[in-house]
Structure 1
Amino acid sequence: MIIRTAHGPVEGTTSEGVSSFKGIPFAAPPVGPLRFRPPSPPEPWAAVRPATHYGPAAVQPRDVLLEGMFGQPAFPTDEASCLTLNIWTQGPHGPVRPVMVWLHGGAFLTGSGRDSVFDGSRLARHHDVVVVTLNYRLGALGFLYLKDLLGSQYAESGNVGLLDQVAALDWVRDNIAAFGGDPANVTLFGQSAGAMSVASLMTMPSAAGLFQKAIAQSGSAEYAHTTERATDVTRQMLAALSIPEEAAGALLDVPAVDLLNAQQGVSEAMRTRGDGLGLPFAPVVDGSVLPRVPLEAIRNGAGARIPLLLGTNLEEGRLFLIGPGAPTMDEDSLSALFDAAYPDPIAAREAFQVTGQDASPSGLFAALIGEQMFRAPAARLAEAHASITPDVWLYLFTWRSSARNGDLGACHSLELPFIFDNLDQPGVHKFTGLEPPAELAHTMSCAWAAFARGGSPHPDWNRFDADAHWAMTFDEDSRPVADPLRPVRRL
């Protein structure tokens, strides 16, 4: 099938009633003078462009944990040709379809829209939606703040990764109708750093009107760098590259592999110091692209007309306790953490155990990670948005994986193959265990698509309110529950 876009014709492939178009450029190569600068439109083309293979991912380090978990090779990467998107659709004919635009996670360091877990074929086939996945610049190339060292022409450098997402949404607005999608009914959904991006875009002036609904999975609206902190990270990068501050312009010419190596060194040093929540590169509150910390902006009315579906997994932190370099935890270390986190640490530990968390030191450490980094921020975002709109739905994913002898539990990212109904993708069983419940994948993918179609995910799913804290719990027996983690939330 050939579709004509605003920049030129593209030809995809069709299988079982779904046409896919992969590797379509939505921006010019972000290299040379465009490095660290906002994306520019791609050059048009006249001949039909094959859109049959994914484009390379953004420059990034290898994700050894996920490679080992899924048994997949590292993504091919390229700085020049990474800004591409992928589309799945039943075609341009018939009534226009809801559009679901996916933002991948990966701590703003790794990830790609080409990940096989994010294949949109089943969502498009079973739910008659148009699915879009995309790449955006990561790490230093996407979030290195240079204004204080290189001047106002780099005022937006700390958020060019977010601006890549905006450029993709601009492309969707201008082109998706040709693929059968409705540009006036776009749902932006993302997980982890992708969910943080969703929250950011809800408050960004440049993204206003580009999407009508939002889904934030296991993310936060609270974490963004100040310009001072972002500049400090930039100085650390310069030191790692042996570049004097007065010669910071040399960053424009540093090979991408050298930037990546320096970025890895800075990231590792910050992790060793316990600095930055593992996010050395993140959105920057620059007063322009991102005017305020997203949660503050939402509390003051930003994104008020955008219905929001959000939630977390019961045992988010368990993912971070496996693989090389994973922290270990003994009783003394755990006690010190709880002493620092809560005025009554004994009551806090009891609250976690009452909600079904593993009572071992490593289990409670994982619970503390999940609470502080994901669940509590999600609850605060739900409360903030619900104060200005009634259209908020909260979920809690509680199904536990049997993989790795059950060590993963209901961990971070486990919901992803269920959302996309891709339980049979290569390597997924290493994450979910054998024979994960297909009915749960059907339930969740239906809910996400229903939300995209009409704004209400399920007839039994109560809207969130600050008093009852209703949440849909997703498991083999999915059902709405009032305040499912109340003992922990009350802490």
Structure 2
Amino acid sequence: MQRRHFLKDLSFSTVSLLAMPGMGNLLPTGARPLTANDFVDAETAYGKVRGTRTNGVNIFRGIPYAGKVSGERRFRRPAPLEPWRGIREALEFGPPSVQPPRQNEPAPAEDCLFLNIWTPANDGKKRPVMFYSHGGGFVIGSGASSWQNGANLARYFDVVVVQTNHRLGLLGFLYLDELAGPDYAGSGNMGTLDITAGLKWVHENIAEFGGDPDNVMIFGESGGGAKTSCLYAMPEAAPYFNKASIESGPGVRMTTPDAAAATTALVLKELNIDPKNWRKLLEVPAADLLAVQSKIPNVPPSLGRRKKGSELPTGFGPVVDGRVLPHHPFDPKAPKISRDKPLMVGWNEDEYTFFAWQSRDVSFTKIDFDGLRAKLEPQYGTDTPKIIDTYRKANPKATAPEIFIAVASINMMGLGSVVIAERKTKQGGAPVYLYNFGYKSEVKIPGSDYALGTPHAMDITFKFNNEVPPEKGGQESSFFGGSSPDRYKASHQMAELWTTFARTGTPAAEGVPAWPAYTRKNRATMRIDTECEVIEDRFAEELKMWRSIGKLS
């Protein structure tokens, strides 16, 4: 796929994903009204908050973790959070950052710095903390998505789960450092600095919620994986987490200042604002900024490097400004600042089927091998025959559509994940664990007889243990996971691997083979399914080929 087309699909599809019906509120409380016994209070550094106790889990929604980011604080660090008197209700999710409205979630707002907590108990016990950054690229998403409901992780694995809303898109990543002076230093990274502020809040307050401030894992999927990659390389975030997991969103490189400046120039042009009068940006209604944002193409950062002077506008995302984000997260090497922090990284085997489903383009399902060549040539040119030949030899029983999915999926999320694993292990510090999620859903892509397999984003409900039997509060059939009871076992195992990693820094689960760290000698990969297995040097021939044509360093 062309990178520009990929991100267009990503933005559209993630909007749709996060607004999907069918998941509902996992483990609902039922129809009865809440009573005094259902409420639970907690003391924070800023005042007391009141949440609910539901089916053995204390849930606090919409706790503010920093102050306003509107008005004079737009494009700047948040205002200090003001303490409050009395008890602040934390019963409803806070608004997400400005974006198109989302079904079954709060209306977006410019002031959006709220977090949610799921904990087994506010009892002073030091449980591992799992701090999740939502997906949606850098332009959409919310900590209120039911797919990532943290209750089952807290309930069944005795961990504390935290999720934030944070600034996105133009409001979170407009680069003004070269125009606006020291008050706006780091403006191209406000979205990730918000997440860092959330981590700091957790460090200061999570003990009250039964969590251990000295045992925090950061993790995230898709855009949340890229955010996690950035946090892994940010000095301000470093004191507040101990391990990380990057899931179907490898952030090897981020936006350069030249590319970010080009995007800023395009925004000013769209708004008819002279760069000298940049302060007029503070007066533009947020809805108008969102409209401008929608006109600017988002192009994900490349694994490769652009020549100086060839920078084009890239949309909105973290900027390698030399201060907040001192260098690309994993280029040319893994960040020294996180050398001693264990890492998991990986991707889903059939990432592309998600995007085919969202774009309603099922043409790939009907191609033969001549059609496969025609479909790949626009992106890979003269390397196409070598790619097809390599994949056919490595997968002699695969059909043309299956090879297309394999090629598209590894290019989307796989090659970057391998780069991260290689560069992390080369440091010789804390271990890195590489995975492939491979549970196969039988759900068909609409308009075809082709099954989704393991599409992008399907891992969310699995790792949050939200694929559970009806007697445990789940549903007969899940949106992506399908209706086979096998998914319950795969979900439980994936959740146990993640929570054990959060607890100890080594992923493990009952009945799952020991997961060895990735090294340049064994290149061990855990394939996660109903029956998990460790595969050494997986995709060896394919990766050798990608290296030979310069797609993998």
> What's the CA shift for 1:155?
2.1
Which of 304, 311, 317 is 2:339 aligned to?
Answer: 304
For 1:336, the equivalent position in structure 2 comes to 377
Q: Does 1:399 align with 2:439?
A: yes
Q: Is the 8 A contact 1:390 1:463 kept in 2?
A: no
Counterpart code for 1:77: P
Aligned equivalent of 1:410, options 438, 442, 454: 454
CA-atom RMSD, angstroms?
Answer: 2.6
- Residues 101 and 107, structure 2, Cα contact 8 Å, conserved in 1: no
How many Å apart are 1:255 and its aligned residue? 0.8
| Residue pair 1:240, 1:266 contacting (<8 A) in 2 also | no
Distance 1:428 1:194 in 2: 26
For residue 69 of structure 1, what is the aligned residue in structure 2? none
Q: Is the 8 A contact 2:124 2:207 kept in 1?
A: no
**One of 478, 486, 490 as aligned partner of 1:429:** 478
Q: Deviations over 1:88-110 (max 9, x none)?
A: 11112263111100011111011
Partner Cα distance (1:427, 1:160) in 2: 41
> Structure 2 counterpart of 1:387, which letter?
K
1:448 maps to 498
Q: Partner letter of residue 51 of structure 2?
A: G
Residue 67 (structure 1) aligns with: none
Deviations 1:271-320 (A, max 9, x none): 9xxx9999621110001000000113753623101000111111112212
Q: Is the 8 A contact 2:437 2:527 kept in 1?
A: yes
- 1:480 Cα deviation from its structure 2 partner: 1.0
Inter-CA distance 466–90: structure 2 relative to 1 (3 Å threshold): same
Please state whether the residue corresponding to 1:123 is helix, strand or coil.
Answer: helix
What are the within-5 Å matches in structure 2 for residues 91-490 of structure 1?
A: 91-93=121-123, 95-267=125-297, 280-296=315-331, 298-299=333-334, 301-324=336-359, 331=372, 333-337=374-378, 339-340=380-381, 344-353=383-392, 354-355=394-395, 359-360=399-400, 364-388=403-427, 389-404=429-444, 405-423=449-467, 429-435=478-484, 437-458=487-508, 460-490=514-544
Relative to structure 1, the CA distance from residue 313 to residue 277 in structure 2 (aligned partners, 3 Å threshold; closer, same or farther) is: farther
1:40 correspondence with 2:79: yes
Query: What does the per-residue CA deviation read over 1:323-357, in whole Å, with 9 as the maximum and x for residues that have no partner?
Result: 347696654642424643xx643231233343589
Matched letter for residue 52 of structure 1: L
For the residue of structure 1 that corresponds to 2:202, the secondary structure is: helix
In structure 2, what residue type is equivalent to 1:393? Y
Map Cα deviations across residues 191-236 of structure 1 (whole Å, 9 max, x no partner).
1111111111111111122000111101223231111100111111
Q: Tell me the matched-pair count.
A: 475
Note if contact 1:86-1:113 (Cα within 8 Å) is conserved in structure 2: yes
- Which aligned pairs between 1:59-98 and structure 2 lie closer than 5 A? 59-61=98-100, 72-73=103-104, 76-80=107-111, 82-93=112-123, 95-98=125-128
In the superposition, relative to structure 1, how do residues 332 and 440 fare at CA in structure 2: closer, same or farther (>3 Å)? closer
2:101, 2:108 within 8 Å by CA — same for their partners in 1? no
8 Å CA contact 1:122–1:421 kept in 2: the answer is yes
Q: Distance in 2 between matches of 1:59 and 1:355?
A: 45
Q: Which residue of 2 aligns with 1:68?
A: none
Q: What CA deviation, in whole Å up to 9, does each residue of 1:240-269 have, x standing for no partner?
A: 22323332221111111111111001137x
Cα offset for 1:144?
Answer: 0.7
SS at match of 1:206: coil
Map of 1:55 onto structure 2: 94
Are positions 1:8 and 2:47 aligned together?
A: yes
Q: 1:337 to 1:355 in 2, by over 3 A?
A: farther
Partners in 2 of 1:444 and 1:481 — Cα distance? 17
Whether contact under 8 Å (2:442, 2:453) holds in the other structure is yes
Q: Deviations over 1:364-400 (max 9, x none)?
A: 4543332223111111111111122251111101122
Instruction: Give the conservation status (yes or no) of the 8 Å contact 2:476–2:483.
Output: no
Do the aligned partners of residues 253 and 147 (structure 1) sit closer, same or farther apart at CA in structure 2, a change above 3 Å counting? same
User: What stretches of structure 2 of length at least 5 have no aligned partner?
Assistant: 1-39, 301-309, 365-370, 469-473, 546-553
Q: Structure 1 residues 334, 346: closer, same or farther in 2, change over 3 A?
A: same
- Residues of 2 paired with 1:382 and 1:184: CA distance? 25
Matched-pair identity in %: 37
Unaligned runs of 5+ in 1: 64-71
**2:480 is paired with a residue of what secondary structure?**
helix
